[in-house]
Amino acid sequence: MKLVYTLFCALVLISCKNDKVKTAKSADVLVDESKSAGDSLIHPKEVHFKNLRQITHGGDNAEAYWSFDDKQLTFQSSNKKWGVECDQMFLMNVDDTFDSIPPQMLSTGMGRTTCSYFMPDNKHILYASTHLADKECPEVPLRENGKYVWPVYDSFDIFVADLKGNVVKQLTSEPGYDAEATVSPKGDKIVFTSTRSGDLELYTMDIDGSNVKQITNELGYDGGAFFSPDGTQLIFRSSRPKTEAEIKEYKDLLARGLVQPTNMELYICNADGSDLRQLTNLGNANWSPFFHPSGKKVLFSSNFESEGGYAFSLYMIDVDGKNLKRVSYGSEFDAFPVFSNDGKKLIFSSNRNNGGTRDTNLFIADWQD
């Protein structure tokens, strides 16, 4: 689930959830003087980035994912210059850039879509859409009792489409929310979030939609899951209410198709749900995690060091919870980092270089360990 623009705008108005200001847990890194003068989009401390290239120029663009052969990407956008009123799915070649002329749309153009991902054959994608319930864009509530909320539409189901935009299969048809699907690098499994149990839990299914299994079973929003490079583990975000008041608030909101995403931590488990453990304990919102190509680290977005709660940066942490390191600097919003399958490139979403607007664009960098 994306809603980048609404998340950014709402969190501007939200102070840090914790009363105490957290001390920085990541040390500044030395400036890499070997960067070329042409890397003007890169902050001096962003030593892991090289040859950063801006892909989109305007609108709200995010959640870009690589084909298995790293030649293409699929992403979602609500760029009004492209005649898009709410998130739809688009296709791009790895060397493309876009401004006023839109890329090829892969979704139906109806309803709202989220979380597209390439299938192993590089000829199809999966994504979630509300178009069967309503062709119009659904309403997007932003605040509930003064607090920022995300909608989890029960009209979302997961579909497979070819690269011409033709829906070829519907993978889910259970009542309730089914979305946030991603594919294992092994090409055999899909992980997704569903409310079919009455709570927002993770499930896996075979690549054809069969053999559905519930992976998590604790109260709270479990979502945004990705497989490790070898397909043996899952990394995901979760908001786990603890107190009686938090539990009541969570259940009341969920009954109305809403969640409050301002306090989320990262969890990691085996692909079958075993050996579940909490990876971060930073406070505020920690989300959009993705495994480093080594499988030994995780890259994610967080506002835990932001005193105002609205500035999100990229961080990296070992899978044992050690060696937290800040990766991106100097932007109000950096999120959705995704490595190419060969580990050489990183695509992410950022507010950088947006001319003072609220646009969120896609950027690709060569990755340097």
Sign of torsion, CA 317 220 3 158?
positive
Predicted confidence at residue 69, as pLDDT, reads: 98
Exposure string of 10-27, with b = 16+ CB inside 10 Å and e = fewer, is: bbeebebeeeeeeeeebe
pTM (predicted TM-score): 0.90
Cβ pair 337, 292 in contact under 8 A: no
Q: Report the C-alpha gap between 125 and 113 in whole angstroms.
A: 13
Residue 56 sits at the vertex; the CA angle it makes with 53 and 59, to the nearest 5 degrees, is 145
How many H-runs (helices) and E-runs (strands) does the chain carry?
2, 28
State in words which class domain 4-25+54-326 has.
mainly beta
What are phi and psi for residue 361, nearest 5 degrees?
-120, 165
Residue ranges of the domains in the chain? 4-25+54-326
Q: What confidence score (pLDDT) does residue 1 get? A: 57
The CA distance from 201 to 153, in Å, is: 15
Q: pLDDT (tens digit, 0 to 9) for every residue of the chain, 369 residues total?
A: 554 544 544 443 332 333 333 333 333 333 333 344 348 899 999 999 999 999 999 999 999 999 999 999 999 999 989 999 899 999 999 999 998 889 999 999 999 999 999 999 999 999 999 999 999 999 887 777 778 899 999 999 999 999 999 999 999 999 999 999 999 999 999 999 999 999 999 999 999 999 999 999 999 999 999 999 999 999 999 999 999 999 999 999 999 999 999 999 999 999 999 999 999 999 999 999 999 999 999 999 999 998 777 799 999 999 999 999 999 997 789 999 999 999 999 999 999 999 989 999 999 999 999
